[in-house]
Amino acid sequence: MARIREKVKTRPVDALVIIGGGASGLMAALAAAEAGVRPVILERMDRVGKKILATGNGRCNLTHLSADPSRYHGADPAFTAPALSRFGVTRTLELFEKMGLETKTEENGRVFPRTDQASAVLDVLRYETARLRAEELCLSEVRTIECADGVFRISLENGHVRFASTVVLAAGGRAAPALGSNGSGFQLARGLGHSVVEPFPAIVQLKLREASLRKLKGVKIQGRLDLTAGGGSLCSESGEILFTEYGLSGPPALKCARTVNNLLSGGRGPSVTLDCFPEKSAAECLALLESRRGSLGYKSASDGLVGLVHKRLIPVLLEKAMVDRDKPWKKFSDGELKRLNACLKSWTFEVIGTRSWLDAQVTAGGVATREIVPETLESKRVPGLFFAGEIMDVDGDSGGFNLQWAWSSGRLAGGAAAARILAAAEGN
C-alpha cells in the first residue's frame, strides 16, 4: 500500500491526518489504512489510547449488544443511525475477533474482553495499525488548523507544521482530561467555522446535600435511584450504589448525571430517592420489619437491623427515622416501623450538582451534528474535514454505548475520508 502524499508547490501534503489517537481515531486509522490510504495520527499524549486503558474499571466494556440510536443523546440521536447500521455491534465484534480479541457478554448485554483486560483492546488495535503502517506521532498536540485552497495547515504545539488534504478530527470531548481529551478539539472545530453545543459532563458522580455522607463514605449497597424534579420521575436506575463523602457513585448514580446537569442548567433542582430494597414493595418491606419485631423483639433497634441492612447504614437510618437505637424492637410502635420503612424504601436527598470534568467519563454536547453529513461524517462547512467519536454532540448511555459510538463513527469517518482521497486521486 503506497502512502498517498502529494507535493503542493514546495510543501509535502499528507493525504490524511487524524487528530487524536483515542478509540475513534484508531478505528478511523484502521478503516482508512484498510481502504489503501496510510494515515498520520497526531496524538497530544505520550502514547495513544490512554483512555481505553481506564475504561470499564480497567476491563473495557467495549460495546453493548443493544446499541441503537435510542441509547444515544444530543440534539439529534437519529444522527447516529447510519454509522451504527454500517458498523454496528456485530461487525465491531467480528473485527475485534479477527484482530485476536476474544470477548464475553455479561448477562445485561455488556461486552468485555475475555481476559477482562482493557489493555488487550488497545494492544490489538495498535498491532493492527502498526501492521497496516499507519504513522503514529505522539506528543503532537494540535494547536490550530486552517483550511485554504483545499489544504489544511495544522500547527502543532511543538512548533511543527503539517499539511493535509483530508482531516479526521477525533480529539474527544472534555471528560477525564488527564487521559488526553482536554476540550481542545472543540476549539479546533470552532476555528474551522463549526458551532459547538455547550458541553457538560455526563456519566459522573452525583453531589448531594446530606449531612450524614461523611459517616457513609465507602458503603456499597444494591439499590435503586429515582431522580425526580417538580414531582415527576425522570430517571430510575438499579444496581450497585456507592456512598462517597460528597454524594453517590456507582452505575445508577452515574446514569442519572446527564439528566441532573440538564435540569440544573435549566434552573430546576432535582432530588434523588434511594430504595434500599428494590426487590420488595413498600408493603412487603414493612411486613418484613413487622416480622422482625416479633422474632427479634429482644434485640435493640441497632442490633435488630444487623443482617438486613449494611451495618454502617444502621445508625444513620435510625436517626433519620427518629428511632432510639437502644430501644428494643418489641417496643417499636407501628408509627416507628413505618418511619423506618419509609427511610429504607424512599430515602430522599437533594441533588446539588455533579462532580466535574476531572471525574466525568463522557462529554454531552459537542460539535453540532446538523453541520455534519450523517452518512459520511464529513463537515457540511469544510469539505475534506471529517469527525469521529465524542467530539460530536452525541453521548451514549453507560454500558459500552460510548465506545461503540467511537468504533462506529471512527470506522465511518476513516472509510469515507479514504474514499474521498482515492476518488480525488483517480480524478487526477
Ligand X SMILES: Cc1cc2nc3c(=O)[nH]c(=O)nc-3n(C[C@H](O)[C@H](O)[C@H](O)COP(=O)(O)OP(=O)(O)OC[C@H]3O[C@@H](n4cnc5c(N)ncnc54)[C@H](O)[C@@H]3O)c2cc1C
**Residue 29 CB, nearest approach to ligand X (Å):** 11
CB–CB of 387/352 below 8 Å? no
In the bound state with ligand X, the residue whose beta carbon lies nearer, of 22 and 415, is: 22
In the bound state with ligand X, the residue whose beta carbon lies nearer, of 204 and 235, is: 204
Report the C-alpha dihedral over residues 223, 229, 234, 236, rounded to 10 degrees. 0
**Residue 204 CB, nearest approach to ligand X (Å):** 10
CB–CB of 413/33 below 8 Å? no
Coil/strand/helix, residue 3: coil
Q: Which of 184, 244, 341, 369 is the binder for ligand X (CB under 6 A)?
A: 184
Q: Does 113 sit near ligand X (CB under 6 A)? A: no
Q: Does 54 sit near ligand X (CB under 6 A)? A: yes
Residue 312's contacts (CB-CB under 8 Å, 6 or more residues apart) are: 215, 216, 218, 219
Measured in whole angstroms, how far is the alpha carbon of residue 413 from the centre of its chain? 20
Q: Does 416 sit near ligand X (CB under 6 A)? A: no
Q: Does 71 sit near ligand X (CB under 6 A)? A: no
Separation of alpha carbons 44 and 20, rounded Å? 7
Q: Is 267 exposed, middle or buried (0-12, 13-18, 19+ CB in 10 A)?
A: exposed
Q: Which of 16, 170, 289, 372 is the binder for ligand X (CB under 6 A)?
A: 170
Q: φ and ψ at 171, to 5 degrees?
A: -90, 10
Residues 388-407 that bind ligand X (CB under 6 A): 389-390, 400-403, 406
Separation of alpha carbons 323 and 135, rounded Å? 67
CB–CB of 371/195 below 8 Å? yes
Nine-digit cell string for 270: 432535582
CB–CB of 373/412 below 8 Å? no
Would you give the binding string for ligand X spanning residues 321-360, x where CB under 6 A is met?
A: ----------------------------------------
**Residue 24 CB, nearest approach to ligand X (Å):** 3
In the bound state with ligand X, the residue whose beta carbon lies nearer, of 52 and 216, is: 52
Q: Does 129 sit near ligand X (CB under 6 A)? A: no
Stretch that binds ligand X, among 2-10, 181-189, 281-289, 365-373 (CB under 6 A): 181-189
Q: Which of 4, 13, 18, 19 is the binder for ligand X (CB under 6 A)?
A: 19
Nine-digit cell string for 52: 481505553
Q: Which of 4, 121, 124, 142 is the binder for ligand X (CB under 6 A)?
A: 142
- Contact positions vs ligand X (CB under 6 A): 19-25, 42-45, 50-51, 54-56, 60-61, 141-142, 170-172, 175-176, 179-181, 184-185, 361-362, 389-390, 400-403, 406
